[in-house]
Amino acid sequence: MMNESITHTVTRRDLLASVAMAAGLIISYGVLGIQGLMFLLPERLRPRTRRLFAGQLDGYRAGGVQVFFDLSGNEILIRRAPAGLTAFDSTCPHLGCRVHWEEDQQRFFCPCHRGVFNPDGVGISGPPAAAGQSLAAVPVEVDEKSGVVYIEVKDIRKRRA
């Protein structure tokens, strides 16, 4: 068995080659690493959304609220405001209780700690107001031609039952 070691003297040409090689390896494997990381991290940056049917415009009384559900089972409150339709997630930003619409008082009310939101979803009384919180808005869209209302909710991957 030979035990001699063979040594090299490093020249400038060698250095350039080494740098080129190192850079190439780091960048290419680095990109692979990033792709691998994206693979391991379930999508967070752009959560996919689903359009869901939410009634017809004609079915909404002026100032009235209808309740539809998103894919997680949360109630989405859709109100026909003078300016158009607005939709909110009924989950109270304070501690997650379910908010409901009070027609007579024209407000969204959370019974848990008596949080109150105005028709635009902004907290105006109780803990949410104190923390400057509002109800999460949900994108809502009306199809011009048919008057069908759609809400855009987060898509959750469900396995088939």
Partner 1 sequence: MNRDPGLRQRLQEMVPFDWSLLRHIGSEPVPYHLKKWWFCLGGTVLYLFIIQVVTGIALTFYYVPSPDEAYASVAAITREVRFGWFIRSLHKWSAQFMIVAVILHMLRVYFTGAYRRPRQLNWCIGFLLLGTTMTFGFTGYSLVYEQLSFWGATVATNLAEAVPLVGPLLAYFLRGGAEVGENTLTRFYILHIGVLPTVAALLVGLHILLVRLHGVTELHFEGETVREDERHFAFWPEHGTTELMIGVLLMYLLTLTALIFPAGLGAPADPTVTPLHIKPEWYFYFNFRLLKLTSLRLSVVLTLAAGAVAFLWPFIEEWLSRRLKFPDALSVLLGTLAFLSFLVLTVWEAFAG
Partner 2 sequence: MSLTVKRYVVAALSFLFLLALLLVAYQESRRFRQEAGLEPVVTVANRGCVDCHRKDGPALVMEWEFSRHAQLGVGCVDCHTAEKGDLDGWTHEGVLISALVTPKDCARCHAREHEEFSGSHHARAGEILASLDNVLAEKAAGMPGNIADAVNGCWQCHGSIVRFKRDLQGQILRVGKEAKPVIDPDTWPNSGMGRLNPDGSKGSCHACHSRHAFQASLSRSPENCGKCHMGPDHPQIEIYNESKHGIAFYANRGRMNLDKVGEWVLGRDYSAAPTCATCHISSYMTPQGVYTANSHDVGERISWTLRPVVSTKLNMVVYEDGFKEDFPDTRPLPTIGDLVETLEKVVENERLVSRKVSRRVARIVSWEDRRKVMKGACLNCHNDTYVDNFYKQFDDLVVLYNEKFAKPAQALMDELVADGILNSNAPFEHDVQWTFYELWHHEGRRARHGASMMGPDYTHWHGMYEVAKHFYVKFLPEVIEAAAAKGPAMKQKYEDRVKRLLGRDEHVWQKGLSPQEAEALRKMYEERYNQ
Contact positions toward partner 1, by CB under 8 A? 1-8, 21, 24-25, 28-29, 32, 35-36, 38-43, 157, 159-160
Candidates 1, 7, 21, 90: give the one binding partner 2 (CB under 8 A): 21
Closer CB to partner 1, 12 or 145, in the complex: 12
The answer to whether 56 contacts partner 2 (rule: CB under 8 A) is yes
Cβ–Cβ < 8 Å for 138, 153: yes
Asked if 72 interacts with partner 2 (CB under 8 A), we say: no
Using an 8 Å Cβ cutoff, are 97 and 110 in contact?
A: yes
Which residue(s) pair with 98 in the sheet? Answer: 91
Tell the smallest beta-carbon distance from residue 19 to partner 1 (Å).
14
Q: With respect to partner 2, which residue has the nearer C-beta, 129 or 148? A: 148
149 φ/ψ angles, rounded to the nearest 5 degrees: -100, 135
30: helix, strand or coil: helix
Rounded-to-integer distance, Cα 102 and Cα 99, Å: 10
For the chain, the C-alpha Rg in angstroms (whole number) is: 28
CA within 13 Å, CB half, 110: 30
For partner 2, the binding residue among 42, 73, 82, 96 (CB under 8 A) is 73
Task: Report the partner that residue 147 touches, choosing among partner 2, partner 1, none (CB closer than 5 to 8 A by kind).
Answer: partner 2
Give the one residue of 69, 109, 122, 141 binding partner 2; rule: CB under 8 A: 69
- Tell me which stretch binds partner 2 (CB under 8 A): 16-24, 104-112, 114-122, 124-132: 16-24
CA distances 156 to 24, 50, 91, 93, 115, Å, are 39, 9, 17, 21, 29
- Establish if 44 lies at the interface with partner 2 (CB under 8 A): no
The nearest distance, CB 136 to partner 1, in angstroms, is 25
